Amino acid sequence: MRNEEVWDQNVGDEEEIYDDYGNGNTFIRVNRMNYNVDPGTNFKDTILNYARDAGLGKFRLFLDGEEIKPSQAPEVIGEGMKMELRPYDVAG
């Protein structure tokens, strides 16, 4: 059984705000690096591609400083969106 509210590489169709969040650019922050992304591109595909490239199996996603779940993801990346991927830590 899959948890639909955790980001991972199998998402189907279905920290803090950084100073540069206010710069007006559309970007994704991964491993403390910002990457400009094009507004209008598919949101989930873009997120999953950056996560895969960063070696993140499971992760938390923050959109404009607020954590969102896969079910809350928009269809496309909007102008000025600030996204951040953070590793998902499992306590154990």
Q: What is the pLDDT of residues 27-86, one digit of tens each?
A: 999 998 999 999 999 999 999 999 999 999 999 999 999 999 999 999 999 999 999 999
Q: Tell me the pLDDT band of 88, cut-offs 50, 70 and 90.
A: confident
Long-range own/partner contacts, residues 44-49 (CB < 8 A, 24 or more apart): 44/11, 44/70, 44/73, 46/77, 47/7, 47/73, 47/83, 47/85, 48/9, 48/11
What is the rounded distance in angstroms from the CA atom of residue 89 to the CA atom of residue 92?
Answer: 9
Predicted confidence at residue 43, as pLDDT, reads 98
Which 3 state secondary structure label does DSSP give 46?
Answer: helix
What is the rounded distance in angstroms from the CA atom of residue 86 to the CA atom of residue 32?
Answer: 9
Structural domains of the chain sorted by starting position, each given as residue range(s) with its CATH number in brackets: 26-87 (3.10.20.30)
Mean pLDDT of the 5-13 span: 55
pTM for the whole thing?
A: 0.74
